[in-house]
A and B are shown apart, each in its own frame.
Chain A
Amino acid sequence: MLCGIIRLGYAEVQFHGYVMNHSAIRDQSPYDALLLRNRLRLNSELTGDNVYAYASVDFLNDAVVGDSTALNLREAYLDVYSSWVDFRVGKQQVVWGKADGYFINDIVNPLDLSLFLLQDFDDIRMATTMLNTKIHHGNNSLEVLVIPEFKPMKINYSGNWGFNRPDSFNIAAANLNIPIVYNTDELPKSSLRNLEYGLKLNTFLLGTDISLIYLKAREDKPVMQKEIEFITMPVVGLVPTGVQVTPTHPWFTFYGLNFSRPFGAFVFRGEGGYYPKRYFDFIPPDFSQLNSGLLKEKPFLQGMLGMDYQLTSQIDLSVQGIQERVLDYEEAIMTDEVNTISSLMLRGSFANDTVLPLWLMLYDITNKSYQSRVSLDWKYSDSFTITVGTDILGGDKETTYGQFNFGQFDKNDNLYLKLVFGF
């Protein structure tokens, strides 16, 4: 065992981590590298009486993404716990959802989609600084989050994993053939007024795990405010001359719930979310609405139902159906009124958990786009794992709205290899 243990009085400090090479090559012309990343992850843990501290640091070098040799403090938090209340303070990830590969309740931490879904979910979810208090009794608990740090979603609009810009579609669709100026992101300042907060009540009732969620936070994914500039022309009057696009992060309120319950050989999971107000791009029917920022406020509803089933003692099946709906819909809104996504996951475990094949298919039924991932983990030893896999993405390239829009990365089908040496 290479991981180190140091004893400090009543406390014990442990070090562990891994070295990883993660490479992904596009499997079609120009057959270029989509990712060439080396990473040293160092985790340290301090365990004492009712106290625990954890820090995780990444030393990253990425040969594809420029200037990306970086030292990244991923997580760093302190736990103080007792028989009825736990406190966790610091940079941390909070996972509130039950869905696999989709984020309905799991919205506390912003996402890093700079490599779309090529990274592990642990890396896609970015830790934020917060105080997490959990009051618990049996399998019932109340979690209270106070989040002073705002961090926006990491998303690119150029490069291999550049997302389509919904605002440019929006402006073009509004027949505004005018120059666009992109302003920098308007990030909220750290202040008491900008504190985000959330509550989650967990209970175990009649064999069912149930959670109720309330979150008051700011949109991690920027809402593009569009300000049209006009000049007054003789005869025709107001004429648009340009547009300023400013990424903003307005407040939202979220109500959620999730559950999971086994029935015989099945486990049923579900989660739902309701936003009384979210912002959607829309095409103004006339000039009088051009000062709306080309945004419309509407309630938004999301839901997921899933089922896990053990096909054999070595193969597990998970299926999910997800639907999102803009309520009080208007035709001028660019997002579809209803967006339906399905997922299927087959996971195998062979040779005493040393050979682990996976097939994950995410299919956006509304936009007819998809991502199919096939991978195989081979645990050569306790410390060395080799993963080979392929991602196939396809569908409508013009797809802009919805959580993932697989079709826009149609050209990014890839083969990947991960070599992980743990210590």
Chain B
Amino acid sequence: MKRLISMLMIPLVVGLFSSISLAQLTGRDIMEKVSERGNVKTEFGKSKMTLINNKGKIREREVIRYQKSYNGKDGIDTKALIFFEYPADIRGTGLLLWSYQATDKDDDRWLYLPALKKIRRIAGESKNEYFMGTDFTYDDMGDRNIDEDTHKLLGREKIDGVECYKVESVPVGKDDQYAKKITWVIPEKWVFQKVEFYDKNGKLQKVLTASDVREVNGIWTPFVLFMDNLSKTHQTRIEIQEVKYNGELNDQIFTQTTLQRGNVQ
């Protein structure tokens, strides 16, 4: 009986302590924890994107992504390389992204188009452009620096039966595409359950939900992301097929040579 009590008590006490410390968290603290959860040294992932239009018609994309964190080495925050594997008409299309720690420095971006056999520079400022027909903008896909927004904890709220922190994030810069974002974050896992994106008129523009959260190499990872673009009546579902954290990724992967070659050494 004592053993049963202790078994029940330990989580209760831990929960009590953690709820006391968590109660003191600010909106920024919470978003920092979300950001830190994603702070892995390297990431490799394969995913399937399903694009659904207002008539229910489906298009698919298969994507491979490599990412490496540089933690400010030479001013670089992260480098990422993305290749499209499917469908045939965009197969081989690649995107190389270098994002910097300085919030006032635009990302460097290169796009390789196999039909032209040419690498094109993309303006780093074009963050608001939708990524390859999906409902995710380049900014949604990249690592947004936490200080590009001010964060305010609005309280706690249950989403699909899960108690979450509700945080409002307002961009510091005026050129941002969204007026604000509201994020519901699952405590302990520090994974968002839902994000609402509001446009400049304060109208709800997009809703992103995460599900099928699994622990991979000690990191909680949503395996399904669903973006409902209300303004375009279009939806994108991203299903992670394979993900690996903190494996060995050579720096040479994140170069124009690999982007053009299309194969990772």
Contacts and interface: CB of A to CB of B under 8 A. Distances in A.
B251 interface: yes
A83 B257 contact: no
A375 interface: no
Contacts of A137: 252
A262 B129 contact: no
A310 interface: yes
A230 interface: no
Nearest to B131: A353
Given A93-B117, A310-B129, A313-B129, A264 B106 contact: yes
Given A310-B123, A352-B134, A84 B252 contact: yes
Most buried by A among B126, B232, B262: B126
A81 B265 contact: yes
B130 interface: yes
Interface residues of A, number: 57
A83 B51 contact: no
Contacts of B134: 352
B125 A352 contact: no
Contact of A122 (B116, B125, B135): B116
Contacts of B86: 1, 3, 382
B122 A267 contact: yes
A137 B255 CA distance: 9
Interface stretch (B6-14, B15-23, B87-95): B87-95
Contact of A207 (B59, B108, B125, B129): B108
A84 B258 CA distance: 11
Contacts of A138: 251-252, 255
Contact of A139 (B89, B117, B135, B255): B255
A224 B40 CA distance: 63
B250 interface: yes
Most buried by B among A93, A264, A385, A420: A264
A120 B113 CA distance: 14
Contact of B89 (A50, A79, A266, A385): A385
B173 interface: no
A82 B251 contact: no
B174 interface: no
A260 interface: yes
A353 B90 CA distance: 11
Contacts of A74: none
B150 interface: no
Contact of A308 (B118, B123, B251): B123
Given A84-B252, A95-B116, A352-B234, A422 B88 contact: yes
Contacts of B59: 352, 354, 379, 381-382
Nearest to A352: B133
Contacts of A98: 118
27 contacts: A1-B86, A16-B91, A17-B88, A84-B252, A95-B116, A95-B117, A95-B118, A98-B118, A134-B257, A136-B257, A137-B252, A139-B257, A141-B256, A207-B108, A209-B121, A262-B125, A310-B126, A352-B51, A352-B234, A353-B130, A353-B132, A354-B53, A354-B59, A381-B57, A382-B89, A383-B88, A423-B88
Interface of A: 1, 3, 16-18, 47, 50, 52, 79, 81-84, 86, 93, 95, 97-98, 120-122, 125, 134, 136-139, 141, 202, 204, 207, 209, 260-262, 264-267, 269, 308-310, 313, 349, 351-354, 379, 381-383, 385, 420, 422-423
